[in-house]
Structure 1
């Protein structure tokens, strides 16, 4: 029998990220603004294009010295890994987050390397119920940060789409029946972190927005990968730059 988790989100944990920070005697000082990316494909871009100070704390942390933010990556993929990293960042005083990364397309009109701003996330993962009530099918981003990022896209004349995402724990268990079901609901993308990220942000009363670059597609009911396409790297850099500008 599994413990009833209906109200777990409101219960006090035995430990927490602040206890962990105290245990490892971490005194790292970070800016309040964080760009967090589960995939490490932007590492070289950050190292080569932005003056930074590097730290290793459960992930790679680059404080961007000429900008009011830090970039965090290389901590693992999926909602559990993301939750651990974000908990540590919140414990260190970070308050505003842009989650960026790659996602699969579920709709045929969403093209390779397209930037998609996430409007809400379907909670088909195991982390979010630990942070917010399990009854709602979706978790939601910060309206304020979504608007700031959208404004930068428009000011920079960057094309983008927007819509809901499906967050899954099982990358290799996406099925035809699921894709058809979510296509009918208007779900635009599939990825592995957003639903948990929004829930953690809501629980801790911090702000988080998410945007993705399309790396593959399930829209035709078969997997069509485009990893390595030059426009994916290009638009990931554009997305990073737009997030930096949105924090100014």
Structure 2
């Protein structure tokens, strides 16, 4: 190992659970439900009142974006729903605040770049591991290349998909802080390593959840295609039916996670 490897600050994991600044819950009008869905689709959240009779119960601080927190009834149980923000640091901060408010079982739903050739737009992926190519996760777990998801939470997601006959793939995702630095060589290396998608939050979500002792799993859908010699956007952010459907899957899955 070179001097550079040993001098990297991200290798200096400190397991001390008492940080100088403790996570604070967001401002809420009523208690945060134990079950929470983190949804990355703003247009789906904007229609949540009409589609799921949601009501606003609070919001995160304005300096984090002021994302609203909604409550919906799913299968007779209250579930909080909010946008966690894009990128590992911001998403982890929202997750920390939701845990501090009382959240104990989390399902995230978002999009990802397809690393595997031929993966159809909208295909559902359940990540069972993530390559930690971002910075946030190293503050919650010792240095390692990969973080594994809890098999029981993955199974809960898969059970919902199987019951609804939704095609899916289980596999490893590549979490990166720099989507504009997904070079052809790095894409090939991650694909050869076994990654089937690329996104910006999963590794952080998994390590924060493990550190705080809560349940967390995630649904991704194949959005843009980065598997070829050129980038194909595929107009993936306009896949409204896919995105609304993924939220419904997350609402079903979160009710199956043990508290």
Q: TM-score, normalising length from structure 1? A: 0.89
Cα pair distance change 1:6/1:241, threshold 3 Å: same
**1:196 & 1:227 partners in 2: Cα distance?**
27
**1:211 & 1:129 partners in 2: Cα distance?**
23
Deviations 1:148-172 (A, max 9, x none): 1111111111111121000000121
**2:18 aligned with 1:8:** no
- Please name the residue that 2:252 is paired with: 245
Q: How does 1:131-210 map to 2 (within 5 A)?
A: 131-134=140-143, 136-210=144-218
User: Which of the residues 48, 54, 67 maps onto 1:46?
Assistant: 48
Structure 1 residue 179: deviation in Å? 0.4
User: Which of the residues 99, 105, 108 maps onto 1:99?
Assistant: 108
**1:66 & 1:229 partners in 2: Cα distance?**
25
User: Which of the residues 52, 59, 67 maps onto 1:56?
Assistant: 59
Check the 8 A contact 1:34/1:98 in 2, yes or no.
yes
**2:86 aligned with 1:84:** no
Deviations 1:20-64 (A, max 9, x none): 34xx77574111111102342321342321011212224221110
Q: Which shows bigger deviation, 40-49 or 109-118? A: 40-49
**2:125 aligned with 1:122:** no
**1:28 & 1:102 partners in 2: Cα distance?**
30
Check the 8 A contact 1:5/1:130 in 2, yes or no.
no
Q: Which shows bigger deviation, 75-84 or 50-59? A: 50-59
Q: Which runs of 5+ in 2 are unaligned?
A: 1-6, 62-66
- The size of the alignment, in residue pairs, is 241
Cα pair distance change 1:37/1:9, threshold 3 Å: farther
Q: Root-mean-square deviation (CA), in Å?
A: 2.1
Cα pair distance change 1:10/1:227, threshold 3 Å: farther
